Structure 1
Amino acid sequence: MILYQLNCDRQHSFEAWFKDGATADRQLKRKTVECPSCGSVKVAKALMAPRVGKKGNSREIAPIEPPALPSAPVAAPAGKAAVVPAELRQALIEVRKQIEANCDYVGDKFAEEARKIHEGEAEVRGIYGEATEAEHEELLEDGIEVARVPWVPRGDA
């Protein structure tokens, strides 16, 4: 699985998982990838920084593998929100369980704690929490690797 940062023609930025790079390219060319903010299918890969090696004094964090996602995209009718298929919903529930089991919740201090970890001022570990759009963009601009995860509410689980 590979995670790409994508942009739509209306300047919305979002992330999406694909089986591999070829699958991503094929789905983007066929316009089967839809912007979750506006529904546009004019979507392209954004520039992304390559993942670089860790500092010599830091320890490796085991990556959380995303569960298999449904193979067929589900498009919403024009002007209506997409209905999350049961398979996708279950995959997102599983992602949430894995994150909660393996990472520390830092609440609205996410950006601050991510920066401390990146700068070696805090223990290297997986964290999750909330960040504003501006905080998220600043972290990315500073080369701090973060990702947004669609969070399925507990009441829906």
Structure 2
Amino acid sequence: MSATTLLRAFCDAVEQRNGRAFAELFTEDGVYHDVFYGAFAGRENIAGMIDDWFYRTATDFRWDMHDPVTDGTTLYARYTFSYRSTLPEAAGARAMFEGVAIMTLRDVKIASYHEVANTAPAFVDLKFAPERIAKIVAKQGAELKARDEMKRHLT
């Protein structure tokens, strides 16, 4: 499967709320590290993330991957991601943000997925209070810092 085909299947499965199809893109022991919800390990949990977590407070997802680059082991792609929020304070607003997807591949499947995203504009779109946005962004910054520290200790 080409990188472009994999990425289109990835996005289509999310947009169609098809957790099973999404999870099948991962290895049995695959892990999806979500910028909002954290890590989901194994196909069953990854499928549940799509079918339940993603759609719990949102609908009408749109996900597009751009400019994929891969060496067969690692796949990078810029993305644009949006959804319509069902949170009461959002009043049906569409949130959009951009990021970079980082996938480790094994046997033409995703072994791990990480992302780096600028989520702050989406929270403004959703009409979150500035204090709530600051708290979310601080948490994400701390998680990125911890991940960087862990990488430094492993090398």
TM-score for both structures, normalised by structure 1: 0.30
Structure with greater strand percent: 2
Q: Which has the higher contact order (CA 8 A, sep 6+)?
A: 2
Larger radius of gyration: 1
